[in-house]
Amino acid sequence: MPPITTASLIQMKEQGEKIAVLTSYDASFTSLLEDAGIDVILVGDSLGMVIQGQESTLPVDVEDMVYHTRCVARGRRNSLLIADMPFMSYSSAELALKTAGHLMKDGGAHMVKLEGGATQLETVRQLTSNGIPVCAHLGLLPQSVHKLGGYRVQGRDDESARIMKEDAMALEAAGAQMLVLECVPTDLAAEISRELTIPVIGIGAGAGCDGQVLVLYDMLGITPGKPAKFVKNFLRHTHSVAEAVSAYVKDVKAGTFPAAEHSFE
């Protein structure tokens, strides 16, 4: 299997092939994900919660992300590797360049992900003009959870939906090569996916997106506490972690995950 690139992901979108994405934070899980045929691995700042036991992603720093990205890179073979830029590590275009360079040069990331819409356009332009691929992130923004007032579905009213659509198109125009939509109504997410030429990856955004992402520990049912509505425990009806990951990839590719019960209207 040839390595997955940003160009091959766009080709997958054009051909209607769903893109399967999972988070990973170490070499062993990464090797298992590769064996299952995962397309993209995200080293998420979600590690703050599922690895470090923090209450949110906010305490995660750049060195945490570089360390875990480097671990994942050692286990990676064919998938595209994306690393989150943690909270306050891209508050200016200059700082974003430094953070992204560290994640790519020292961590081995192929792409970096940042949260936000119109306020991040100049940063996206600066990164992409310097040869750094960018994945944008709209909808529920975990790094802005206190500003948003908690983990809530975004884009349910006409005005916020309009702004999200405009932000998505502007991010693509600025050079973003992928977009994550989190906790967004199904119809809105599907509309944005149709409008953009870059791949749109959903998490709690319905089956109309070009692909899906979940936190690995969530889809294995081992994250403490009550799971989010958009999470499915793939380990429950399988016999091993490897089978669970393979089932996830199969269901994403077939378009059977997420189902209606994992989505928002």
Catalytic residue among 172, 182, 191, 261: 182
Percent of the chain clearing pLDDT 90 (strictly above): 95
Residue 61 annotated as part of some ligand binding site: no
Residue 182 a catalytic site member: yes
**Rounded to whole angstroms, how far apart are CA atoms 72 and 29?**
8
Residue 148: predicted pLDDT: 57
Give the pLDDT confidence of 172-218 residue by residue, as tens digits: 999 999 999 999 999 999 999 999 999 999 999 999 999 999 999 99
Annotation-wise, does 84 bind a ligand?
Answer: yes
pLDDT at 149: 60
Q: Write out pLDDT tens, residues 74-115.
A: 999 999 999 999 999 999 999 999 999 999 999 999 999 999
Q: What per-residue string of b and e applies to 157-191 under the rule 16 or more CB within 10 Å gives b?
A: eeeebebbbebbebbbebbbbbbbbbbbbbebbbb
| Cut 0.95: pTM above it | yes
Lowest mean pLDDT among 50-59, 145-154, 220-229: 145-154
45 is in an annotated binding site: yes
The fold for domain 6-262 equals: TIM Barrel (3.20.20)
